[in-house]
């Protein structure tokens, strides 16, 4: 059990910071691939990124089981999440409402909860920590929330992720949603977004 002083602080203003982070995630989910900066937490326990921690403090609580990928587990991170979010940490990612993973070791997307046709919202929102996000280059995104196309470069993902993403779309209305994180920046890909690699 970590001593109280080992736990990194949460939001300075839990009410207003939660609202601001939620709005960033909402706009990210409504306009896939757009980058949003959430700088409300600066000092967070490794290996969590500041934006990952901020999203968790804004949205995760005792009603939302959280799964940490093996390479995302640390005593500091687990204590921080349990303390600030009060969430159960689960061992089986197919039962998680939220998951935190690294892009380099992202487990197969098909192992998360995808919901069912009657209740497709009972799926996992996967927070993916990347090594870089940039707009105007990279992947070509299409779908609801995007006027025509949007470009998003995502660095540090293991190979095969976008092939699995292509299998996620046809599951609609089921499927996972992704929140992509790079330090204090985030973007989102809801299940409706189609991704094309290497388009001229």
Q: Does 191 bind other proteins (CB under 8 A)?
A: yes
Considering the complex, state which of residue 37 and residue 172 has its C-beta at the smaller distance from other proteins: 172
CB 10 within 8 A of CB 4: no
Considering the complex, state which of residue 14 and residue 104 has its C-beta at the smaller distance from other proteins: 14
User: Shortest Cβ distance from residue 76 to other proteins (Å)?
Assistant: 12
CB 51 within 8 A of CB 129: no
Judged by CB under 8 A, the residue of 10, 50, 65, 103 near other proteins is 10
Judged by CB under 8 A, the residue of 133, 190, 194, 195 near other proteins is 190
Interface with other proteins (CB under 8 A), residue total 47
User: Shortest Cβ distance from residue 42 to other proteins (Å)?
Assistant: 12
Distant-in-sequence, close-in-space partners of 167: CB < 8 Å, separation ≥ 6: 109, 110
CB 137 within 8 A of CB 151: yes
Which of the residues 149 through 168 are near other proteins (CB under 8 A)? none
133-to-61, 137, 144, 151 alpha-carbon distances in Å: 27, 10, 21, 11
Judged by CB under 8 A, the residue of 49, 54, 59, 72 near other proteins is 59
Q: Euclidean distance between the first and final Cα of the chain, in Å?
A: 54
Tokens of 94: 């197919």
Judged by CB under 8 A, the residue of 91, 137, 147, 199 near other proteins is 147
């Amino acid at each position: 059990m970590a001593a109280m002083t080992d736990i990194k602080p949460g939001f300075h203003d839990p009410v207003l910071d939660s609202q601001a982070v939620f709005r960033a995630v909402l706009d990210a989910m409504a306009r896939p691939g757009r980058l949003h900066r959430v700088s409300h937490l600066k000092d967070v326990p490794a290996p969590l990124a500041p934006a990952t921690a901020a999203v968790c403090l804004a949205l995760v609580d005792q009603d939302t089981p959280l799964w940490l990928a093996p390479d995302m587990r640390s005593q500091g991170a687990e204590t921080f999440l349990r303390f600030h979010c009060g969430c159960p940490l689960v061992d089986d990612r197919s039962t998680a409402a939220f998951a935190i993973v690294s892009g380099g070791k992202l487990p197969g997307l098909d192992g998360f909860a995808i919901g069912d046709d009657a209740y497709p919202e009972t799926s996992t929102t996967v927070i993916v920590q990347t090594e870089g996000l940039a707009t105007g280059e990279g992947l070509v995104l299409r779908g609801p929330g995007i006027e025509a196309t949007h470009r998003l470069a995502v660095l540090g993902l293991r190979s095969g992720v976008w092939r699995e993403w292509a299998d996620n779309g046809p599951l609609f209305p089921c499927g996972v949603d992704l929140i992509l994180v790079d330090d204090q920046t985030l973007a989102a890909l809801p299940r409706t977004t189609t991704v094309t690699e290497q388009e001229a």
